[in-house]
Amino acid sequence: MIVRRTLGLAALGAALSAALLLTGCDKLGVKSDAKTSFQGVDLTGANYARNFSLPDIDGRMRTLADFKGKVVVVFFGYTQCPDVCPTTMAELAQVKKALGPDGDRVQGVFVTVDPQRDKPELLKVYLASFDPSFVALRGSEEQIKETAKEFKVYYTQKAGSTPDTYTVDHTAASFLFDPEGRVRVYARYGAGTQPLMSDIKLLLAGQ
């Protein structure tokens, strides 16, 4: 069994909180006067995670503009991840379904950090097992690196027992965008479906 390691979310949350206290929200690119009503970390006004431009599994370049009018949930992961990735995708699918007709206004976007193994055919089957409307993005190593840098997402390969059994440490969180394409919430892994649903409802309501 492949054991996968992820970025410690407790440490990430603590670091983010400490940064807010020590440096001020403005230095993190977040408006200091924003009124927080989200369950996740409020990123309103952030000067990062502003957009992406990556090909989908059919080779079509996709950006946030393609999903205008929807709440977009962006997650960086890989198909051979045994825990965080499938749990995150399953929870998002549950929320989307629970929203009923409003679920049609929620778009899941999965950015693979393992393009070497995550071929288009595999990504298609993987995401369809959660929700066929979810979109998978798979760029070159350089494209993914640049996108991860824009989102301040961490990922790195860790060697396994064979060349093909490596794992990938990566930031285990989702980024929520409002229908206008602005990043608004950093949803931590492990919080469950209710906080995610609450934040998505707020964004769908125009908050």
User: For the chain, what are the domain ranges?
Assistant: 9-204
pLDDT of residue 36: 56
Residue 16's pLDDT is 39
Tell me the two tokens of residue 101.
Answer: 């007709």
For residue range 123-162, list pLDDT tens digits in order. Answer: 999 999 999 999 999 999 999 999 999 999 999 998 888 8
CATH code for the structural domain at 9-204: 3.40.30.10
**pLDDT for residue 24:** 36
Q: Note down pLDDT in tens along the chain; length 207 residues.
A: 333 444 443 333 443 343 333 333 343 444 444 455 999 999 999 999 999 999 999 999 999 999 999 999 999 999 999 999 999 999 999 999 999 999 999 999 999 999 999 999 999 999 999 999 999 999 999 999 999 999 999 999 988 888 888 999 999 999 999 999 999 999 999 999 999 999 999 999 998
Q: What angle do CA 50, 99, 128 make, to 5 degrees?
A: 70
71: closest CA among 116, 124, 109, 20?
109
**Chain centre distance of CA 71:** 12
Q: What is the pLDDT of residue 122?
A: 98
The overall average pLDDT reported for the chain is 86
Look at the block and give the residue holding tokens 């950093």: 186
pLDDT at 165: 84
Give the predicted TM-score (pTM) of the model. 0.82
The answer to whether 126 and 136 are in contact (CB under 8 A) is yes
| pLDDT number for residue 178 | 98
pLDDT of amino acid 52: 97
54, 147 Cβ separation under 8 angstroms:
yes
Structure tokens at 185: 């919430």
